[in-house]
């Protein structure tokens, strides 16, 4: 390899993934190694695009929606670039431009898509060829959940046991075509940035919440259940598993010191309404570190679910998605 050739311009796209069994807590914060396995569904819509280009400036630059990413947030991107530089020998600075179609900082997993696309665009720009497993590991160094936006479809992120994180990566266990009827609806009840980031929230929970060990202990079992429920397309089993994972994550956050409450009154009303609707429709909810639930249902009921939610909550915005994804190079 001739390092002087690199970097070349490269662009990649990825979509967010929504955890059915949550990642909440790290066994190693520097390497984003999770305390437990997690299982997620990758979305087919609202991709995030990252363009990496050579940069004349002395330092690397990362721009998000046309604005420079400030410290400490840029540190995640720089960490990924540092690892890639070790592998490529490329010393010149790069500029990355992130354009996300997902509202930023509202808990809709936009950073998972951005970091997965960034890992692919930057590694390609620097001439580093990575296997899917290595790419998932590289994305993980920027943000844990980004490891799951690399493969696409239905994915499991292995906790792994190695201290260097070489066995902690996400892989597809079923393709999007395995369950084409599955539909996800993001319900945006608030666009306010969350007060406590996922990173800070999970570290605080692990350090201070008395119920945290119990939460971690159940994650492995729930991940196995979610994978088996998806493999057998058992909607009811997936619903029970995913709701339990989200509820215990939010429950354990409430027992942190100081407590963390991500939901808003409207979130609670919506969840109650969804529970009511789920008596007659295939439907469940999940909640990440924010007030905006994702609803999961089966086609053709997504039309009815969207209409019912819009009728009861006229001010919320609803984004409808299917299963898909997988990071890719784009022109
Ligand atoms: C609630 O991947 O954003 O969405 O690894 O610190 O970047 P870092 O955290 P992040 O956490 C996601 C948390 C979650 C659950 C999940 O997606 O599994």
Domain that holds residue 260: 182-321
In a domain, 310, yes or no: yes
pLDDT at 109 over 90: no
3-state secondary structure of 105: coil
Three-class secondary structure of residue 97 per DSSP? strand
- Statement to judge: residues 191 and 173 lie in one domain: no
> The domain spanning residue 88 has which CATH number?
3.30.230.10
Residue with tokens 């892989």: 171
Would you place residue 224 in the very low, low, confident or very high pLDDT band (cuts 50, 70, 90)?
very high
Mean pLDDT of 142-161: 97
Q: How far is the CA of 289 from the centre of ligand 1 (A)?
A: 8
Residues 28 and 114 in one domain: yes
User: How far does residue 266's CA lie from ligand 1's centre (Å)?
Assistant: 23
DSSP lists the bridge partners of residue 54 as: 94
Distance of CA 230 from the midpoint of ligand 1 (Å): 21
Q: Is residue 220 part of a domain?
A: yes
| Mean pLDDT computed over 241-268 | 97
For 8-35, the pLDDT digits (tens) are: 999 999 999 999 999 999 999 999 999 9
Atom of ligand 1 nearest to the CA of 145: 2
Nearest-10 Cα torsion for 101, 105, 106, 107: 100
Whether pLDDT at 190 is above 80:
yes
Answer yes or no: is 329 within a domain: no
Q: Whose Cα sits closest to atom 3 in ligand 1?
A: 198
Q: What is the dihedral of CA 216, 185, 191, 34, to 10 degrees?
A: 20
Q: Distance between CA 103 and CA 93 in Å, rounded?
A: 28
Residue with the two structure tokens 């001739």:
2
CA atoms of 259 and 204, how far apart (whole Å) = 9
* C-alpha–C-alpha distance, residues 108 and 120, integer Å: 21
Stretch 217-232: mean pLDDT, rounded? 98
Residue pair 75/59 in contact (Cβ under 8 Å)? The answer is no
Residue 331 lies in a domain: no
Ligand 1, atom nearest to 112 Cα:
2
pLDDT score, position 105? 47
- Determine the pLDDT at residue 301: 97
What span, in angstroms and rounded, lies between the C-alpha atoms of 69 and 306? 35
- Domain harbouring 254, CATH code: 3.30.70.890
Using a 10 angstrom Cβ sphere, with 0-12 exposed, 13-18 middle and 19 or more buried, the burial of residue 148 is: buried
Per the document, the length of the chain is: 331
Distance 222 CA to ligand 1 centre (A): 17
> Residue 234 C-alpha to ligand 1 middle, in angstroms?
26
The answer on pLDDT for 227 being more than 90 is: yes
Which atom, in ligand 1's list, is nearest to the CA of 144?
5
Q: Are 112 and 76 in contact (CB under 8 A)?
A: no
Q: Which of 136, 163, 138 is nearest to 147 (CA)?
A: 136
**Collapsed DSSP state (helix, strand, coil) of residue 141:** helix
Whether residue 126 sits in one domain with residue 267: no
Nearest CA-CA partner of 314 in 275, 278, 269, 280:
269
Whether 168 is in the pocket of ligand 1, judged by its Cβ within 6 Å, is no
Whole-number Å distance between alpha carbons of 223 and 237: 12
Shared domain check, 193 and 162? no
Atom of ligand 1 nearest to the CA of 23: 18
Residue 23 near ligand 1, beta carbon < 6 Å: yes
Cβ atoms of residues 287 and 18 within 8 Å? no
* Listed residues 159, 179, 199: the one ending a domain: 179
Of ligand 1's listed atoms, the one at least distance from the Cα of 26 is 5
To test the ligand 1 pocket, which listed residue (23, 33, 199, 241) has its Cβ within 8 A of the most ligand atoms? 23
Query: In terms of domains, do 55 and 126 share one?
Result: yes
Same-domain status, 169 and 299: no
Ligand 1: residue whose CA is nearest its atom 11: 198
């Amino acid at each position: 390899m001739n390092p002087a050739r690199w970097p070349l311009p490269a662009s990649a796209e990825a979509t967010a993934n929504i955890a059915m069994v949550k990642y909440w807590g790290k066994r190693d914060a520097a390497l984003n190694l999770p305390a437990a396995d997690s299982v997620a569904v990758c979305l087919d819509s609202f991709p995030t695009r990252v363009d990496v280009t050579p940069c004349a400036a002395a330092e690397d630059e990362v721009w998000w929606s046309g604005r420079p990413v400030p410290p400490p947030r840029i540190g995640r991107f720089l960490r990924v670039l540092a690892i890639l530089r070790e592998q490529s020998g490329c010393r010149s600075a790069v500029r990355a431009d992130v354009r996300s179609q997902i509202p930023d900082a509202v808990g809709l997993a936009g950073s998972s898509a951005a970091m997965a696309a960034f890992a692919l665009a930057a590694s390609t720009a620097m001439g580093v060829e990575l296997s899917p497993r290595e790419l998932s590991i590289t994305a993980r160094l920027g943000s844990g959940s980004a490891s799951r936006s690399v493969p696409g479809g239905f994915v499991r992120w292995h906790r792994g046991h190695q201290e260097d994180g070489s066995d902690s990566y996400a892989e597809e266990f079923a393709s999007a075509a395995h369950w084409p009827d599955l539909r996800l609806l993001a319900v945006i009840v608030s666009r306010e940035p969350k007060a406590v980031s996922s990173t800070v929230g999970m570290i605080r929970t692990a350090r201070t919440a008395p119920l945290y060990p119990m939460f971690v202990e159940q994650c492995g079992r729930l991940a196995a259940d979610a994978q088996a429920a998806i493999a057998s397309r058992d909607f009811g089993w997936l619903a029970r598993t995913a709701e339990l994972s989200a509820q215990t994550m939010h429950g354990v956050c409430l027992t942190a010191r100081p407590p963390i409450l991500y939901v808003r009154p409207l979130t609670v009303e919506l969840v109650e309404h969804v529970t009511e609707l789920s008596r007659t429709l295939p439907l469940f909810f999940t909640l990440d570190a924010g007030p905006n639930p994702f609803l999961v249902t089966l086609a053709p009921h997504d039309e009815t679910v969207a209409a019912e939610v819009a009728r009861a909550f006229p001010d919320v915005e609803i984004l409808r998605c299917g299963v898909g994804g997988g990071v890719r190079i784009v022109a």
